[in-house]
Structure 1
Amino acid sequence: MSKNLGRGRPQRTRVEGHELSLAATDYDIVQGIPVTSVQRTLLDIAQELSIDELVAVADQIVCAHNRSFGPKKLPIVDISELHSYIAQHRGLRGIRKLQAAMKLVRVGADSAPETQLRLCINHWALPEFICNFEIKDAAGNPKVAPDLSCPRYRTCAEYDGGHHLTPEQQAKDHDRNFLTTSLGWHQSVINKNDMGNDGLVAITKIARMLVLGGWNDPKNLARNSLEGQLYVRKDIT
């Protein structure tokens, strides 16, 4: 719990009191209660989180969708505003780590696992994948927008979380997969089990799709064995 400088630290049982110098952009009023704003809260937790964790949080703050199809989504804070806000608070604890994280933040990630997958792709030095790239048909009509896409190699990745297990969502996903393949793209569907061991299975799956799209795979990532790693009747290599 915090108060503005000069008003004394709050004193409550089991409460750690703080004094802060807060500007108008540092707090909001929610149901009559003053709370730190989303952007200020990001600053306050920066010292406690890793860079990857900060990227995941910031991705959710700036997430927006303005696709040709599907519902629109506005960001909690526009990414340019968030960059500007952070630049005005140099010197705070954790600010350098947050600045490093912001270089990796991208608009369009719908969940922390999607962010984790994108960062995993970066860490393994695969070609760059971008969020929600619209794949169009021959007439120029947008048909699907995968979670992550590499247009250069016509390769995309979808992260399927728990909500993809419902019959309704599975039917939608099957249609999505059919459309993606029909448009000549190479798609890899990733789930939670693929993300263990530094995402080795996920990276191998994506690398194999990239190779199909013409990538030269300089580190032979597509050749990693998947024997015993996949839920199939017989192990495959």
Structure 2
Amino acid sequence: MRQPSPLPDHLAGRSFTLHEQVHAGVPAARAWRSDLRVASRGVRVPWGAPQPLPHTCALLATLSPGLVCCLATAALLWGCPLPLALQNELKIHLAKIGGGARPVRKGVSGHRLALRSQDVGELDGVPVTCPARTWLDLAAVLDLEDLVAAADYFICSQSRSFGPKKDALCSLGDLLERVHSTPGARGIRKARQALELCRVGADSAPETRLRLAIGRLGLPEPALRYVVQDATGWELAWPDVAFPDFKVAVNYDGRHHLEERQRESDIRRDESIVAIGWASVTVTAGHVRQWGFDGCAHRVLDSLARAGWRIEG
């Protein structure tokens, strides 16, 4: 069997539209050779070549004016943590700016959304719903805890003496405005519940889940972005959540904490705050697999009880 002719360098190894093919001077019949598959109407993708999500979204958006990425696709483009089922979803979620019929084509999940001009933006050249609108639309497909984790992600800001500064993608006020201005949105009641539970300062979805589990036990509201300092004002630690009144610091240590250099830093961190009378509780992914977040929250309860906290009444 004769091998397909090579594609131009700027088309090889990536998806492309038939318009791009024609513009590159490639014969129309080349689009039907065995090394390419029809991903969607007017789109060809090389077999076995993973395609970056932003590239796929940008390509599909060019096929019809006024298309915008939304829901899970928009969330992934913004970097928002999602359940694995949505992370691995193959379809691209698109809506038409200005309403009208939902987009219908292979590889696309089309939606009818009443989008205002302030609901739509651009991210690296890809039209996408803004963070606040993306979060509101997720209320229709996420459970409550995942929705709180998404809100925490979008509103998180950090300014520490170490590491890069982290700016929020939107504010809590932006989320509130979307909820108040879109009372008929799907999942609106869940969105209102999530707004009561979200907090500025959570760095990851596991941190959010641990904080919510702590809340279910009726423990005191923990502080986020709290700095543990020694008597001279020297910064010793930035725990994920802290109970300053009881001198208890809690950290969720993800995968990067398994690296030797990070482990040594964590040990120094814990030893330094223990030396000034603080207790340190570390929760890992292994702990969560064994006990769940609710079980891990009981470790926090035990530490608080040893520090003098008592259930009122």
SS of 1:163's partner is: helix
Residues 62-110 of structure 1 show CA distances to partners (whole Å, capped at 9, x for unaligned) of: 1111345553211111222222232222221111111110111111111
Alignment of 1:1-237 (within 5 A): 1-5=94-98, 7-67=100-160, 70-195=163-288, 196-216=290-310
SS of 1:119's partner is: helix
AA aligned to 2:296 is A
Give me the whole-angstrom Cα distance separating, in 1, the residues matched to 2:230 and 2:194.
Answer: 35
| 1:200/1:6 CA distance change after superposition, 3 Å | closer
* C-alpha displacement of 1:203: 2.4
Query: Which segments of 5 or more consecutive residues in structure 2 lack a partner in the other structure?
Result: 1-93
| 1:201/1:194 CA distance change after superposition, 3 Å | farther
Give me the whole-angstrom Cα distance separating, in 1, the residues matched to 2:242 and 2:113.
Answer: 43
SS of 1:113's partner is: helix
Tell whether the 8 Å contact from 1:122 to 1:128 is kept in structure 2 after alignment. yes
AA aligned to 2:141 is E
Q: What residue number does 1:235 align with? A: none
| 1:16/1:69 CA distance change after superposition, 3 Å | closer
Deviates more, 1:179-188 or 1:117-126: 179-188
Give me the whole-angstrom Cα distance separating, in 2, the residues matched to 1:106 and 1:183.
Answer: 28
Give me the whole-angstrom Cα distance separating, in 1, the residues matched to 2:281 and 2:99.
Answer: 56
Q: TM-score of the superposition, structure 1-length normalised?
A: 0.84
Q: TM-score of the superposition, structure 2-length normalised?
A: 0.65
* Count of matched residue positions in the alignment of Structure 1 and Structure 2: 219
Which protein shows a greater Rg? Answer: 2
AA aligned to 1:215 is W
SS of 2:208's partner is: helix
Greater relative contact order structure (CA < 8 Å, 6+ sep):
1
Q: What residue number does 1:233 align with? A: none
Residues 44-71 of structure 1 show CA distances to partners (whole Å, capped at 9, x for unaligned) of: 1202111111001111111111345553
| 1:31/1:70 CA distance change after superposition, 3 Å | closer
* C-alpha displacement of 1:183: 2.2
Deviates more, 1:90-99 or 1:139-148: 139-148
SS of 2:109's partner is: coil
Deviates more, 1:86-95 or 1:11-20: 11-20
SS of 1:103's partner is: helix
Give me the whole-angstrom Cα distance separating, in 2, the residues matched to 1:107 and 1:181.
Answer: 26
AA aligned to 2:310 is N
Q: What residue number does 1:225 align with? A: none
Tell whether the 8 Å contact from 1:46 to 1:98 is kept in structure 2 after alignment. yes
